[in-house]
Amino acid sequence: MSTTNPHSDAPTEAVSSPVDRARVRRRSKQRRRVANVAGLMASLVLTGSLYSVFAPAQAADDTTSESAAEAAGRELYERSCITCHGENLEGEPNRGPSLIGVGEAAVYFQVHTGRMPLVRQEADAPDKPTIFSDEEIDQLMAYVQANGGGPTLPSGDLRDGDLAEGGELFRLNCASCHNFVGEGGALSSGKAAPSLKDTSDTELYAAMLTGPENMPVFGDNQLTPDEKRSIINYVQTVKFQADPGGAGVGRIGPVAEGLVVWVVGISVLMFGIFWMGSKA
């Protein structure tokens, strides 16, 4: 007959085995939870470390990327332009258009000719003396260009173009509104094409690039930079060209000349009639 040794391990294992297994499972779950928490903390620490390495550098680049001219332009914009053109250059309904995409060329033309800031809404923005200095205009240009993008002003000699080609291009694209010699003329709805008599080379180029008001935009696909220079050469040359026929009568075309001939002819004819009548 066999007996169980009281010092044997078998009975002890049989008695304590379920309890031990439960403890082992609990400890295993606790270890897994601790491991998960430790892994999560390690991931958070690693993510924070990477962010601290890269994000501050990028933020510093963003804050330092604005030049002094752009910062000064921002102040001018917020003081003189934001009411009509909006806080983010996006425009305001019934006040002013968006400046996104107009570029420094549009800013130069509108501000340098005094059209902006606009005094009141009307058919045409009048050409008037500018209220900004050249330096302030450059600052506004830098701000709008940096935040809205768009056409930029060219450099170099803007009259370096073919004179004959410029005359042909001007008559084809511009004379219907500005007259054959740039004297300007009336348009519909109370609008008018301005005279080009006092317009500078840069203003002419900027106007062709941006198409202010009723003027169409002549991008580089419509008129190449060389063709724009040819037109500028023609406009600036014809201003000082002598009239081979004598007095130019405002150089506004054959209608004015015909009117002068008619008035003078009728006056001479009437004088002759009265003179003959008095003699008779």
Task: Give me the percent of the chain exceeding a pLDDT of 90.
Answer: 51
Position 13, amino acid: E
Least confident window among 4-8, 20-24, 272-276: 4-8
Residue 59: the pLDDT is: 44
**Whole-Å CA distances, 110 to 9, 134, 181, 206:** 101, 13, 23, 9
Looking up tokens 């010699």 gives 181
37/210: higher pLDDT: 210
Domains and their CATH numbers in the chain: 67-153 (1.10.760.10), 154-243 (1.10.760.10)
Residue 278: the pLDDT is: 85
Residue 19: the pLDDT is: 67
Looking up tokens 């317009």 gives 199
Residue 141: the pLDDT is: 96
Q: Is the pLDDT of residue 36 over 50?
A: yes
DSSP result, 163-192: HHHHHHHHHHHTHHHH-TTS--EE-STT-E
pLDDT class of 160 with cuts at 50, 70, 90: very high
pLDDT digits (tens, 9 = 90+) for 52-96: 666 554 444 444 468 999 999 999 999 999 999 999 999 999 889
> Within 13 Å, how many C-alpha atoms sit on residue 223's CB side?
27
pLDDT digits (tens, 9 = 90+) for 85-127: 999 999 999 889 999 999 999 999 999 999 999 888 787 888 8
Name which of 148, 146, 155, 166 is nearest 229 in CA terms.
Answer: 166
Q: How many CB atoms lie within 10 A of CB 172?
A: 10
126, 115 in Cβ contact below 8 A?
yes
Q: How many residues does the chain have?
A: 280
**Whole-Å CA distances, 275 to 6, 129, 268, 269:** 165, 53, 10, 10
Alpha-carbon span 127 to 112, nearest angstrom:
9
The tokens describing 252, both together, are: 């506004």
The tokens describing 67, both together, are: 């030049």
The tokens describing 49, both together, are: 């470390």
pLDDT digits (tens, 9 = 90+) for 195-248: 999 999 999 999 999 999 889 999 999 999 999 999 999 999 998 876 666 666
Name which of 124, 121, 122, 123 is nearest 113 in CA terms.
Answer: 124
271/140: higher pLDDT: 140
The tokens describing 7, both together, are: 């010092």
